[in-house]
Structure 1
Amino acid sequence: MTEEMTPYRIDVPEAELVELRRRLAATRWPEPETVPDWSQGVPIRYLRELCRYWAEEYDWRVTEARLNALPQYRTVIDGLGIHVVHVPSPHPEALPLVLTNGWPGSLAEYLKVVGPLTDPVRYGGDAADAFHLVLPTLPGYGFSDKPTGPGWGVSRIAGAWAELMARLGYRRYGAHGTDWGNSITTAVGQQDPEHVVGIHPVPPIAAPDPATFDTLTQVERESLAALRDAQDRESGYSAEQATKPQTIGYALVDSPAALCGWIAEKYWSWTDHDGDLTTVVSMDELLDAVMLYWLPATGASAARLYWESFEQVAEWFRSATTDTVTVPTGCSVFPRDVPRPSRRWAARRYTDIRYWNELDRGGHFPALEQPDTFVRELRAFFRLVR
């Protein structure tokens, strides 16, 4: 590791936690929704209880200690300070792997899988499956710096990640990502193919292929229906963040209840649960994610990535055959994730798919929802390209 990596430790002043509880207590609540479900957004009973728990029972110091147990650094890349967790494996032949989340995810969603991925022997696995983990925080998210000018979209972030891996001394590495992380991971594979042994985007960026519409499988028909439903009912947040992130940012930075509702809605909609989110994401885990936006006040800066890159990624989604990826690719398709492409749709963009698996359970946050499955999927694909 070079001297350009500066050790970092999270240390939130107690006064900030006291102020958070004050703001939660002073929330000005709207009247209840007029329907008995989530069709108008987060029900008031749910959010009031979640915010009560946040103010009275949630303990940030537990999560802060878990994060501080991991080796953290700050480094400047392309003029911007980047926060990164770097966990070398005790097994020297481990494969370096960069993991990238998106919105409204956070570094905390990987806490369950760091141990099994870096030291599989300790968890009953094989040393041959070990990874050196690199978990950078996106610009404008968490404890990375907030960009002060435009230009920090997914392509530039991918270039920064390639520079980060080189700075850490890794000349041969893999990449995995979800949400914005799948776009960044795809771009890393395009920009740094001489060093990337394989990518694992979840889900792969692949639009439905009109040429297949006369021979759709049942899974493809379900995927098209889910995509239409997402566009009709679940895209309001992205339209706002892609067009007017500064406007929504005032609420997200000023009101913890607004931020909590904005994020909780997506966890409810995007995870694979049977009407009880806590069966796959506990209240503490959900609030961990919220806190990593609240404490560094990144509601506006994180939303701004949509303004930077939403149209670019939409174009990638549409232009599958002209913007291809040639590095080896592994695809784990979780049933509650959207879009959920078929292999033949994905193969138009990812020309060297080495691994494809359609899972029975899981959604948009697989490392958090289904950590054992997530670990197995990463191991299964990267065994083919190590």
Structure 2
Amino acid sequence: MPNDIEIRSFRFDTPEGAIEDLRRRIAAVRWPTRELVNDRSQGVQLETIQEVARYWATDHDWRAFETKLNALPQFMTTIDGVDIHFIHVRSKHENALPLIMTHGWPGSVAELLGVVEPLTDPTRHGGTAEDAFHLVLPSLPGYGFSGEPTELGWENGRIASAWAELMSRLGYTRYVAQGGDVGAAVTDAMGRIGPEGLLGIHVNLLAGAIGIKDMLPASTEEERASHVKLDAFTMDGFGYFLEQSTRPQTIGYALTDSPVALAAWMLDHDTDSYHKISSAFVEGKPVGGLTQDSILDNITLYWMTGTGASAARWYWEFGRFLAQAHASGQPPPPVKVPVGFSVFPGELWAAPRSWVETVYPGVAYFNEVDRGGHFAAWEEPELFTTEMRAAFGPIRNS
């Protein structure tokens, strides 16, 4: 059925044979020779991925993560023909503000688990009852436990509409939305569609900057530094983006057949997070929530659900959407709700306020924090929580 409004309880119990098969495949990996440079300019370094594989095969406890996930209220519902998995944690504070948060790639709902308790139970995490959120964490179509789309067209706008339908089914008539990475693009689309009940959005990546580089200010030192970072991404850190936006099926064969290939592909995202992840494995020095176990919880989730290829297809949809938008010559519709934006210094490109105001004129909340990177909620859950309280505080009583 295109729409089955039933909301079904969900839990995941991994067959023991799947865990044994994973370990066999890791043990059977064929390693390339070492890179010919002393940095990551040729890709994920051999020392790093070998340590990831060693820990994965011998020390990582997938059952512990499975237990943690199954302890949370998880559900499934069918929207527009696709099964959508989501975590739904209601705060004990009945006046809590409903918040739907969208993960990105190479993330999943696993990257958001550290903020569940601080957001829903603020009185135990330095806040007051007035800071509470009811939290909805969906898995993107084709990611994790959500179903894979079997037809084209699941771009940001369609996902945004599905999220609005999800919140309606849950009975939320007033809510806010947040996202980073892919989630930022989806949340942006929600703000431009302006579904009934959406009060405001918050993003921590200026996803729209990619398509309008030449229109972004470059007169101050801060603006020029951001241009350098954006240029570096589009020229040197763009490999995964280009492959997934043009040939997701091709890379998908490796991502669903080899766990080590999957891990390496997911680690090779951006310089800041790569060095933090490498430090966690090679030096035993995790940064914030980016621990060895949490990193492998996320990678194993992709492996156990076989979603390496289907997750990559979002980039193909996004690439086609950008091409069509460029060909039309029409600017995107304006955002219809207040926008909050937080700048984390280790982001792909830490957007200055002038850039944010170019994309979101009249931005309602803007703040630059002193630490954190691309995986902000994962890496710095308490700081991220503080930003959510500040950004959405004025909206609560609107």
Pick one of 155, 158, 174 that aligns with 2:157.
155
What's the counterpart of residue 67 of structure 1? 69
Q: Which consecutive unaligned segments of at least 5 residues does structure 2 have? A: 281-285
1:232 aligns to what?
235
What is the CA-CA distance between 1:327 and the residue it aligns to? 0.8
Is the CA contact 1:162–1:192 (under 8 Å) kept in the aligned structure 2? no
> SS in structure 2 opposite 1:203?
coil
Note the C-alpha offset of 1:232.
1.4
Q: Check whether the contact 1:99–1:176 (CA below 8 A) recurs between aligned residues.
A: yes
Going from structure 1 to structure 2, the CA distance change for 1:322 and 1:84 (only over 3 Å counts) comes to closer
Is 2:25–2:258's contact at 8 Å kept on the other side of the alignment?
A: yes
DSSP 3-state at the match of 1:162? helix
How much identity, in percent, do the aligned residues show? 49
- Give every structure 1 segment of 4 or more consecutive aligned residues whose post-TM-superposition deviation is greater than 6 Å: 314-320
Distance 1:332 1:46 in 2: 31
* CA distance in 2 between partners of 1:316 and 1:337 (Å): 25
Work out the CA distance in 1 between the residues paired with 2:179 and 2:19. Answer: 31
Show the counterpart of 2:378. 368
C-alpha change, 1:244 and 1:136, in structure 2 (3 Å) is: same
Aligned residues: 384
Structure 1's unaligned 5+ residue stretches are none
> Alpha carbons of 1:322 and 1:21: their partners in 2 closer, same or farther (altered >3 Å)?
closer
Letter matched to residue 131 of structure 2: D
For residues 25 and 210 of structure 1, do their structure 2 counterparts lie closer, same or farther at Cα, with a shift above 3 Å needed? closer
Residue range with higher mean Cα deviation, 251-260 or 29-38? 29-38
Q: Distance in 1 between matches of 2:121 and 2:149?
A: 35
SS at match of 1:113: helix
Query: AA paired with 2:27?
Result: A
State the shift of 1:349 in Å. Answer: 2.9
Whether the 8 Å CA contact 2:192–2:333 is kept in 1: the answer is no
Q: Which residue of 1 aligns with 2:321?
A: 312
Quickly say closer, same or farther: Cα 1:247–1:355, change in 2 above 3 A: same
C-alpha spacing 1:222/1:42, structure 2 compared with 1 (3 Å): same
> For 2:365, what is the secondary structure of its paired residue?
strand
Task: Tell me by how many angstroms 1:275 deviates.
Answer: 7.2
Alignment map for 1:1-12 (pairs within 5 Å) = 4-12=6-14
2:294 to 256, 281, 285: 285
- After TM superposition, the structure 1 stretch with the greater mean CA deviation from structure 2, 242-251 or 2-11, is 2-11
Q: CA 1:216–1:311 in 2, change beyond 3 Å: closer, same or farther? A: farther
Structure 1 Cα separation of the partners of residues 343 and 59 of structure 2: 35
SS in structure 2 at match of 1:199: strand
2:245 alignment partner AA: A
Structure 2 counterparts to residues 244-323 of structure 1, below 5 A: 244-266=247-269, 269-270=272-273, 273=276, 276-277=279-280, 278-280=286-288, 281-313=290-322, 322-323=332-333
Specify the SS of the correspondent of 1:111.
helix
8 Å Cα contact 2:12/2:66 also seen in 1? yes
Report the AA paired with residue 30 of structure 1: P
* Aligned-partner residue type, residue 308 of structure 2: G
3-state DSSP of counterpart to 1:357: strand
TM-score (norm 1): 0.94
Question: Counterpart of 1:127?
Answer: 129
Match of residue 104 from structure 1? 106
Name the CA shift for 1:67/1:161 in 2 (closer, same or farther; >3 Å): same
- Distance in 2 between the 1:384 and 1:301 partners? 38
Q: 1:329 — aligned with what?
A: 339
The 3-state SS of whatever aligns with 2:114 is coil
Cα contact 2:180–2:205 (8 A) shared by 1: yes
Query: For residue 162 of structure 2, what is the amino acid of its counterpart?
Result: A
Contact 2:142-2:310 within 8 A present in 1 as well:
yes
Alignment partners' CA distance in 1, 2:287 and 2:71: 26
- What secondary structure, in the 3-state scheme, does the structure 2 residue paired with 1:11 have? coil
| Deviation digits for residues 11-49 of structure 1 (CA, Å, limit 9, x no counterpart) | 111110000000000001111111111110111111111
RMSD between aligned residues: 2.2
Aligned to 2:93: 91
SS in 2 for 1:112: helix
Q: What TM-score do you get using the length of structure 2 for normalisation?
A: 0.91
